[in-house]
Amino acid sequence: MAALKAKYFTAENREAAEALATAYFECKTDEMVIDIVSGGETKNESLQILALKGVPGEADHMDAFYQLYYENDGVYLEIYAGRGQGEKFDSADLIHHLSRKNIADLSISAVQALAEKGAGRMKIATGQSEHVYGEDISVVVKGDELEASARLLEPEPNGPALSLEAARQKLALVGVIHGIDDAALAALIEKKDYGEPFVVAKATAPEDGEDGKLIFHFSTDERTGKPREIGGGRVDYRSLDLYIPVTEGQLLVSRTAATEGRPGTTVKGSTIRQKPGKDITLPKGKNVDIDEERTEIRAKCAGMVEFIKNSVNVSSVYKINGDCDISVGNIDFEGSIHITGSVRSGNTIKATDGITVGGGIEAATLIAGGSVEVKGGMQGSSKGLIEAGGSVSIMFVERGTVIADGPVTVDVSIHSKIETGSTFHAVGKRGAIIGGQVGAAGDVVANYIGTLSLTKTEVEVGFMPRKRVRMKELEKETERLEADGVKLTQLDTYLEKTKETMDKETWEKLFRSGAENRRINQEEASAVNAEMEALRYEMEHVTRSRVHVFETVFGGSRIVIGSSAYKVSEDISFATFRFSDGEVMYGPCELSKGDVKK
């Protein structure tokens, strides 16, 4: 309330009106500011004045304010307009004040009329006693009902203080019945920070369920592909760690069911639905049995088990006795392939699992989802190709290409291109890399690299070239998904603006379509981000890979680790090349031949 005192007075003339004012304020006329409001223009017309009493000059820049008068014939509202640079009348403050005064038979229209006028006196209710209001709280519940906050409202002079019990009752009155923080509510009342919000209730969050899980009862680790040592520094290329044998009826995979979790509760007592755990289905498979409850997978027959691309297969073997030539033709088999002879030029052999060749390979193509074992070698004539999702073991590769996700083991690589997502070992009787390129995500181990005749030979370890290509593809996909996300946001904004004007059926159709596209966009973005993070991790650790040479790396060879390269100008013996301080360096070999055979 302003320091100025003000009141409207009505009398037959100015002298009479001023007399009423001086009597009311108990002061002299020259101690007041008198404004004629209306009337007095004719002899019989009464005159209304506004009398202001305060310190000299205070009325020159008076803020607008109001007062209530409880008189015998009714409750009167007086509004006093601002003067000079004083603030204008705040009708919101008036409405809030009247709402707390509990005035019976309040004429809202009379209040609104006087508020719109901005000054004057008007009867707004019948005669009654004045209610002096005390402290109270104003409660705000968030739209999602996860939180409720309260503000302590200031009382009138001599108004009663608010008790903790009364505050609880006020919360219940607006529906807040759960998660009430009594300590916060007590602090709100004790601190007397009028108008400051206090969080006084919080919802109980739901507990989401746990997803179902698969338990594998066989190793899903990558096979090493290492040949078996048979003594005398020799190895048996016919016996490799390429598969896991199983017996009929053996338990392969079991499944635990998802849980429902527990619902939460909003501050108004409504249930917050939890997110049930996602159940997981058993992986598909061939030559396996699944129980009626779909909780177990068992081997249907004896053989070898592999887990590739979310598929558990017990593989039977397609066996070809003799050579695979034009009389046999190309092969595309779901399982493993065993060829006792050789694969002749022009043939293509595809298997979803492993491929075993008892002889050699000419300018042919072998593509396997699992591992490839060749007892002989490859005379590729620059056309031979082996692609494997697992390891590759072969005696030699001459003018051929080998691409594998698993480790590659050879005796000799001659003018060939070999790329592996794991390790490369050239450690047989000769253990040599002669010409061509060898790239490995892991370590490269060899007896010899290059030749005395300075044959150009390149060995790269770290990040595989095709993964660099994949990284660029994922970056473009991320840009596309981000652009689509911007368009979906623009659609959301457009729908929000047109909700009241657009045809309801059309609006709902667009809304559902946008929501579904948003879900798909987010799922795709999550998958892309996960793959990119995995590739970035690989890129950050590529410099951990090393090149180990047991005998000699000849001049003309080039060793690449990460983004740095070392061109060998003179022969180097028994060395390990590693990345250090931004460049490729070498020192004494960190392995022995015995280490590799373990």
For residue range 96-140, list pLDDT tens digits in order. 899 999 999 999 999 999 999 999 999 999 999 999 999 999 999
- At residue 230, the pLDDT reads 52
Between CA 326 and CA 440 the distance in angstroms is 34
As a whole-number percent, the residues of the chain with pLDDT over 90 amount to 66
* pTM recorded for the entire structure: 0.44
Q: How far out from the chain centre does Cα 82 lie?
A: 55
Q: Is 389 left (phi over 0), alpha (psi -120 to 50) or beta?
A: alpha
**Residue 231 confidence (pLDDT) above 70:** no
Between CA 459 and CA 446 the distance in angstroms is 11
* Mean pLDDT confidence for 224-249: 55
Domain boundaries, the chain: 5-125, 136-202, 213-307, 467-542
* Mean pLDDT confidence for 267-283: 92
Helix, strand and coil content of the chain, in percent to the nearest 5, comes to 25, 40, 40
Between CA 161 and CA 380 the distance in angstroms is 96
Q: Are strands 74-80 and 120-125 parallel, antiparallel or unpaired?
A: antiparallel
Strand order in the sheet with 136-141: 136-141, 147-153, 197-202
* Mean pLDDT confidence for 224-239: 50
Residue 216 pairs in a beta bridge with 253
**Residue 236 confidence (pLDDT) above 60:** no
CB atoms within 10 A of CB 232: 6
- At residue 548, the pLDDT reads 97
Answer yes or no: are the C-beta atoms of 383 and 397 closer than 8 Å: no
pLDDT band at 219 (very low <50, low <70, confident <90, very high): confident
Residue 127 pairs in a beta bridge with none
Highest mean pLDDT among 303-307, 425-429, 430-434, 501-505: 430-434
Between CA 404 and CA 422 the distance in angstroms is 8
CB atoms within 10 A of CB 120: 18
- At residue 242, the pLDDT reads 43
